[in-house]
Chain A
Amino acid sequence: MSVEVRRVSKSFGKFPALKRVSLTVPTGRLVALLGPSGSGKTTLLRAIAGLEEVDHGEILFHGEDVSAVPLRERKVGFVFQHYALFRHMTVMDNVAFGLRSRPRRDRPPRHEISKRVRELLKRVQLQDFGGRYPHQLSGGQRQRVALARALAVEPRVLLLDEPFGALDAKVRLDLRRWLRKIHDELHITSLFVTHDQEEALDVADSVVVMNHGRIEQDGSPDDVFHQPATAFVMDFLGQVNRFPGLVDEDRVKLDMLHLPVDEATMKAFAGRAAMVYARPHELGLSAQPDARPSFPATVRRVHAAGPRVRIELVGPHNERLVADLPQDEVAALRPVPGVQLHVRLLRWRVFAS
């Protein structure tokens, strides 16, 4: 079941949460809605579910306009950040709730409901927990019950609102891998909201980056990370180093060095100020200046714990820089605080300043 959002707007009082947002999710995809708080990602998810009425625009499931279809008839599975389990019901009753709520003519017979519930509990690895109450489960187990409950009604679309937001780091990691596995088995079109870029890049087929009620970029994890469409996406998906510059013909002039730019950038910024962005792993360091363009910077701190080394430096104008290098490359440099190194840009992107 594909999901299409067409020019949807939604305001809460005077605050515009969504501004003419359009989005297409092909059948069977697992999509992350990523953005800072207040970016509109949760509002978009709730609008797709029918938990929030939109002011303008349409929402289509498989080409059919469902904007006017109320929540309970929209047939979506919704998983809440805080699980929203029915606390006075057992795990089994929670999972069975949707099937038991169907009108009599669509309701499966009792033995079939309990069979389905058992299958689902097995799928979420909670087959021995059917008789427990939610307060007797851990956070990760509760969220699995919530997922089983949402899947029980065979939803057309699965929507998850910060599903791992309330869990601790280790459980988060396990659970997101496990969500991917379930998705690969069921192929149900799914959207999940997160503010954790690592989670989005790790799990999703495609990532929709949102900011201020608009979609900044919609692409594969690879795309949004390596080909960010805007400065915001670049900034939000990891650390960046920023250098103010001026685009002049086929190059951008920074304070200490000139970098060549492509034709599109040339046209877009001809003769104007721009900001050059490079990620920490896109900086190269050397002990001595060589033929390649570089500028000097002083080592401030070195974080060597981990597979790669993160080096904080201070540039000639007191600007803070971060470089991220493999361990063996760093060994030759012997960086200690106070040492001067020479910084090169291996890769960069130019955005409006």
Chain B
Amino acid sequence: MGSGGRAVAPVAREPWLVRALLVAVTLGFLALFLLVPLAAVFVEALRDGWHAAAAAFTDKDAASAVKLTLLVAAIVVPLNTAFGLAAAWLLARHRFAGRQLLMTLIDLPFAVSPVVSGLVFVLLFGLQGWFGPWLRDHDIKIIFAVPGIVLATCFITFPFVARELLPLMQEQGSDAEEAALSLGASGWRTFFLVTLPNVKWALLYGVILCNARAMGEFGAVSVVSGHIRGRTNTMPLHVEILYNEYQFTAAFAMAALLALLALGTLAAKSLVEWRVRRQLRLALLHARQGGA
């Protein structure tokens, strides 16, 4: 498996010119589409100096956008962690009618355009939507309010944890859990002392990805939020508003903060990814030689 730097047999090696060309193309592509835009965000944010950039966050609406983004992530990530664990456990451990369908449904948010996902919630809970009249009669606001943003974000991010756990749980099998139960452990004890430690790195990896997307989601949130400043604006939406109002420094400062969050996530992700690969490799190794 490709993780180790295994030497390629000389026959399979391309001439140096081809190799150099491939490397150049890859690096050029990377620079053009990833590094230059990233650098541009920070350059633009700091064009008028630190103070101007920092001033963007002292604005009341900006602060509330940051707060809302953190609040949404704080609600959505635990929900999807619990859901992801439950779904992965169900799919890995049990065979039942509709299992394949559930597996496909989990991937649905990956397949559907975020804008469409947002529209679905408007269709369901908006004033003209299916539940609109009932919600209005009971004075419950979902669309153009925080609950709508949470719902949409939840929908968009729910595959991450389940998708990350499923292959590992399938590979590890249920022997260890059955062993724990046969030794008299309760279901909860088995879950916390056996199931969870066996998948902890994959779980953390899924949580990180889920969190990154929850904070960065634009499309679906944009449809359900209504862009009410200071109330239903998340960070990505706030960036758009600022940009449209020609407040470039503020827009880029906010974007830089989002980018920093993403970079931090990326660093955490690589660290965890390394552990996950180790865990999966161990599971595979054990499965092959009949391991622990």
Are chains A and B native binding partners rather than an unrelated pairing? yes
Does A134 contact B292, Cβ atoms closer than 8 Å? yes
- Can you spell out 9 A-B residue pairs with CB atoms less than 8 angstroms apart? A51-B182, A76-B182, A78-B179, A84-B175, A101-B186, A134-B292, A149-B183, A150-B182, A167-B290
Bound complex: CA of A88 vs CA of B197, how far in Å?
Answer: 7
Q: Are B292 and A85 in contact (CB under 8 A)?
A: yes
B176: A residues at CB distance < 8 A: 84-87
Evaluate contact between A153 and B184: CB separation under 8 angstroms: yes
Q: Are B292 and A142 in contact (CB under 8 A)?
A: yes
Task: Kindly supply a per-residue 1/0 record for chain A positions 96-132, scoring 1 wherever the CB is within 8 Å of any chain B CB and 0 otherwise.
Answer: 0110011000000000000000000000000000000
Tell me if A101 and B183 are in contact (CB < 8 A): yes
Contact between A87 and B182, CB atoms less than 8 A apart: no
A97 to B184, CA, bound (A): 9
Interface residues of chain B: helix, strand, loop or mixed (majority):
helix
A165 within 8 A of B: yes
Q: Are A166 and B292 in contact (CB under 8 A)?
A: no
Shortest distance from the beta carbon of A143 to any chain B beta carbon, whole Å: 9
Chain A, 60-98, contact with B by CB distance < 8 Å: what is the 0/1 string? 000000000001111111101111111110000000011
A101 lies within 8 A of B184 (CB): yes
Q: Whole-angstrom distance between the alpha carbons of A83 and B289 in the complex? A: 11
Asked if A72 meets B178 with Cβ closer than 8 Å, knowing A85-B292, A166-B290, the reply is no
Residues of the B chain whose Cβ atoms lie less than 8 Å from the Cβ of A84: 175-176, 178-179, 292
Question: Which of B180, B198, B286, B287 meets A88, CB within 8 Å?
Answer: B198
In the complex, which of the residues A50, A74, A80, A137 contacts B175, with contact meaning CB atoms closer than 8 Å?
Answer: A80
Nearest CB in chain A: distance from B270 CB, A: 22
State which residues 112-165 of B face A: CB under 8 Å.
none
Is A139's beta carbon under 8 Å from chain B? yes
Scoring B residues 22 to 56 as 1 if CB is less than 8 Å from chain A, else 0, what string do you get? Answer: 00000000000000000000000000000000000
- A139 with B184, Cβ < 8 A, contacts A87-B282, A101-B189 known: no
B185 at the binding interface (Cβ < 8 Å): yes
Q: Give chain B residues whose Cβ lies under 8 Å from the Cβ of A139.
A: 289-291
> Which chain A positions have C-beta within 8 A of B289?
139, 166
A146 to B194 CA separation, bound complex (whole angstroms)? 15
The answer to whether B193 has its CB under 8 Å from any CB of chain A is: yes
Contact with A along B177-208 (1 / 0, CB 8 A): 01111111110010001100110000000000
Establish whether residues B292 and A83, one from each chain, have CB atoms under 8 Å apart when the complex forms: yes
Interface residue tally of chain B, by bracket?
20 to 34
Q: How far is the CB of B278 from chain A (nearest CB, A)?
A: 11
Taken together as a complex, chains A and B put the C-alpha atoms of A33 and B61 apart, in Å, by: 73
- On whether the beta carbons of A81 and B290 are closer than 8 Å, the reply is yes
Q: A49 at interface (Cβ–Cβ under 8 A)? A: yes
Q: Is A165 a contact of B184 with CB atoms below 8 Å?
A: no
Q: Which residues from 181 to 226 on chain A have a C-beta closer than 8 Å to any C-beta of chain B?
A: none
> In whole angstroms, what is the CA distance A75 to B193 when docked?
20
A300 to B289, CA, bound (A): 39
Q: Which of A120-179 contact B (CB under 8 A)?
A: 134-135, 137, 139, 142, 146, 149-150, 152-153, 165-167
Instruction: Report the separation of the CA atoms of residues A82 and B258 in the bound assembly, to the nearest whole angstrom.
Output: 47
Q: Using Cβ atoms and an 8 Å threshold, which residues of chain A touch B290?
A: 81-83, 139, 165-167
B292 touches A71 (CB 8 A): no
The answer to whether A87 and B184 touch across the interface, beta carbons within 8 angstroms, is no
Q: Which of A274-309 contact B (CB under 8 A)?
A: none
CA distance A102 to B182 in the complex (A): 12
Nearest residue (CB) in B for A12 is B95
The winner among A76, A97, A166, A167 for most chain B CB atoms within 10 A is: A97
